[in-house]
Chain A
């Protein structure tokens, strides 16, 4: 039987899963990100950079201990939903996710970051037209994944419509993005790279690449990551071996005459978490 997210019990369960995923993401960094930070700390040769990584790791531990958000920029909520066949995709689904964001804003609490783009008036509850960004796709289980995105790193992200013959310059484009950003995105960064698709599709792929665990990289990703790290920008732009923790790439097909490339920059506080919606009987 088809279930409608507008059904009050299901609506509440969706809001709860969204709230809980946000509460988890804001306080506890994913294990793979902590491991990458620890590994970077053990390899780092620059004493200033080692000090910065120590402070980051101390902050991660303290946030978990105090159940407090890692960073005062608690970001804007980006939400990915997988929907099994028995759950209907209705407007209520979106409303329920928004309700979860409002609850998290009050209860975690989160800093109200969402404003009108022109008047800059704050909505006060981290929702607004188009925010949270909710991306729905079919799946086997009803799962809510959140990626709260801070502004410092988002603001230095970049999209290029390269020529089809310029595939070889993609690593250069990514490295240049990090060079131009310097210390502003709070490095060490993680780079989500979207290659192909359309103008908007490349950007969406780049953000989705940030959902991938960073405990492994393929050869292509590793080569870009190594090139970025030769820049020596280091944690917070103070210099060092650790500028990027990882590069993750997602590809899609594209027009024969175009090559869209997007780089979504993520600060070290790479917050993401996921909850299965407990569907009430």
Chain B
């Protein structure tokens, strides 16, 4: 499915594991930007917006590299964004069970492939910046996306691909441990 911002109830149709593309406006935010937005208010219109956990490398007006950063660091700072109407969080590695519950009925978590910084930059055009005083990595960059390819990692119905995969891995590890214990030392 091809999504475009501002996002609406179409995000409710998405299921964990779906492959989508996203076009339109996205706002980057890492730890410090989240903290400031919570304190001072969100500087962009959050209704239907997409927030990208990313600290890009920007040279003048050009985005050179813009891969995702680890989303879990933002677990505790995500509720106010979703309550303000943000409909998609983009990042890598997934988020906490608390965020999974906050997503219910309103928003999705979209995973972008870690390390694919050039691929991301090739689908981006810079359109503005908030909080430039936070420095290149921590500022909020407004970026125009052209079909950024993503996977639905957590949907609006409580499904969480990362948690499912993690649980299965734990079970398999226990199985492996048992089978090696049986071998004579």
Contacts and interface: CB of A to CB of B under 8 A. Distances in A.
B98 interface: no
A55 B68 CA distance: 13
30 contacts: A48-B151, A48-B161, A51-B149, A52-B113, A52-B151, A55-B113, A55-B116, A58-B119, A59-B115, A63-B118, A68-B64, A71-B116, A111-B137, A150-B115, A152-B70, A169-B180, A172-B180, A184-B93, A186-B92, A186-B114, A232-B169, A233-B165, A233-B169, A236-B113, A237-B93, A237-B162, A237-B165, A238-B162, A239-B161, A239-B168
A231 B151 contact: no
A49 to B, nearest CB: 10
A42 interface: no
A56 interface: yes
A72 B55 contact: yes
Contacts of B173: 175-176, 179, 231
B70 A59 contact: no
Nearest to A165: B185
B176 to A, nearest CB: 6
A100 interface: no
A55 to B, nearest CB: 4
Given A175-B173, A179-B169, A71 B117 contact: yes
A66 interface: yes
Nearest to B173: A179
Given A48-B19, A237-B165, A269-B115, 11 more contacts: A51-B151, A62-B122, A66-B118, A69-B64, A71-B67, A71-B115, A72-B66, A152-B114, A175-B173, A238-B111, A268-B115
If over half of B's interface residues share one DSSP class (helix, strand or loop), that class is named, otherwise mixed; here it is mixed
Interface string B98-129: 00000000000001011111110110000000
The 6 closest A-B pairs by CB, nearest first: A186-B114, A59-B116, A72-B65, A59-B119, A55-B113, A239-B165
Nearest to B135: A122
B176 A237 contact: no
Among A48, A52, A183, A269, chain B packs the most CB atoms within 10 A around the CB of A183
Interface of A: 48, 51-52, 55-56, 58-59, 62-63, 66, 68-73, 109, 111, 150, 152, 165, 168-169, 171-172, 175-176, 179, 182-184, 186, 227, 230-239, 267-269
B161 A238 contact: yes
Given A152-B70, A232-B168, A239-B161, A71 B65 contact: yes
A237 B166 contact: yes
Given A72-B55, A72-B66, A168 B117 contact: no
Contact of B115 (A186, A230, A231, A239): A186
B166 A55 contact: no
A56 B113 CA distance: 7
Contacts of A232: 165, 168-169, 172
B48 interface: no
B93 A183 contact: yes
Contacts, number: 133
A168 B118 CA distance: 42
B115 A267 contact: yes
A59 B177 contact: no
Nearest to A68: B118
A179 B162 contact: no
B85 interface: no
Contacts of B111: 236, 238
Among B92, B115, B169, B177, chain A packs the most CB atoms within 10 A around the CB of B115
A28 to B, nearest CB: 12
Contacts of B113: 52, 55-56, 59, 235-236
B14 interface: no
A59 B185 CA distance: 45
Contact of B151 (A73, A182, A238): A238
Contacts of B72: 184
Interface string B26-63: 00000000000000000000000000000111000000
A233 B166 CA distance: 7
Contacts of B177: 172
B147 to A, nearest CB: 13
Contact of B114 (A66, A111, A168, A236): A236
Contacts of A165: 185
